[in-house]
Structure 1
Amino acid sequence: MMPSALQGKVALITGASSGIGEATARALAAEGAAVAIAARRVEKLRALGDELTAAGAKVHVLELDVADRQGVDAAVASTVEALGGLDILVNNAGIMLLGPVEDADTTDWTRMIDTNLLGLMYMTRAALPHLLRSKGTVVQMSSIAGRVNVRNAAVYQATKFGVNAFSETLRQEVTERGVRVVVIEPGTTDTELRGHITHTATKEMYEQRISQIRKLQAQDIAEAVRYAVTAPHHATVHEIFIRPTDQV
């Protein structure tokens, strides 16, 4: 029997309590990785951890808000201590609070910037010394919103354009030292993300826009992550732009 592709590797996945993060934890554990699963909703994490442990995976559960810089540092240190190192970081935590600029609640802007962009940066910086030692991989969950502009999404898109810019610059800094940087850019995916929208008119417009397409599933994106992190180490799949076939 061939060994699993990630046997002996350690992966840390943020936003792992649902959606893409949860599906990615399952996919990487199925490939043999020990997984640290991190999110704010710890009860959901524990249920996932029990499931993966029962299937034979080694799991470390972490209650974490990625906007908390000290919490981020502690989570990375705890992962290394509990699982013996760090080979893969999947920066998946994110929120989507859409609405027009004109009457925006600017606390929504702060929450998105703190989570989607600064939280990703904090996680990357904290993990980088360990990834440099292991010649590991950073996976940044961006979005179609990091490439394509639409109305009522200015700040969410700014965070995702920022993720793309940060990640390409990081790649240039670390690629010659053996660390791979991967950016995943999903289109419309059937997750809890759109449930975050509180601006009623924008939510109705968004739901109408996506109601006629076959949406991506979390497992589709998890498969893209699995493909990227199991590629031969001399090859970096730097960007995967994946969207529904029906999405114009």
Structure 2
Amino acid sequence: MSRDARWKALLELLVERGRLDVEEAAADLEVSAATIRRDFDLLAEQQMLVRTRGGAVPHGVSYELPLRYKTARHASEKQRVAEAVAGLIAPGEAVGLTGGTTTTEVARALAVRGDLASGSPALTVVTNALNIANELAVRPQFKIVVTGGVARAQSYELVGPLADAVLGRITLDVTVLGVVAFDAVHGAAANDEAEAAINQLLCERAERVVVAADSSKLGRRAFARICGVESVDTLVTDAAAGSDAVRPFEEAGVRVITA
């Protein structure tokens, strides 16, 4: 296992369990305790965790993994969701894409759609995510509009009032919304209030809103509210979401698609 893969695994375990002991982590990852101690020390230097006696705990009260460490989590589910979302977007539409791992997969699924390979442009994409803009900017079938703002290192998203001027002057056909949590009562949410504010604006400028969320996000709450369930037209999730998980959204009037 490479160091990068090991760090991803350690951080995911830390999020799931709330704390990790050196010996426990070494057994889970099948490496030596000395290796885990070095990993913990290096991750602590990057403020990714806090070292404790014999282990580590998450850094800060509201813990959020940087995007580069989230990519392996529920990867296959996110790709299936992304392909289904991409299929809902028609050529010539103006599309808002928020940041996140699932919306990044949506951008990649759009990039390989054969019917979008030509056109002038085939799609207009408005995003506050630097990584998404970077991936799509080299493809001539897309017109890319970046909101502006201050970059968050954790998510590569641009936030702050500089984005308001751009978003206040555009109209979107659809916004694809990536979320940390989506609940039928509390709505869609993110960990960071600045990201949530930009995401809310992208939703308000769209004729329809599609939430792209793997089943692990459903029925959960997070710190910063983006919008209520009444603002969402469609939820695309993976087949692991059972009927009990999706029924509250359907009862709230949301179209649910499982991929």
More contact order relative to length (CA 8 Å, sep ≥ 6): 1
Pick the structure with greater CA Rg. Answer: 2
Q: Same fold (TM over 0.5)?
A: no
Shorter-chain TM-score tier: 0.3 to 0.5
TM-score (norm 2): 0.40
TM-score (norm 1): 0.41
More helix by share: 1
More strand by share: 2
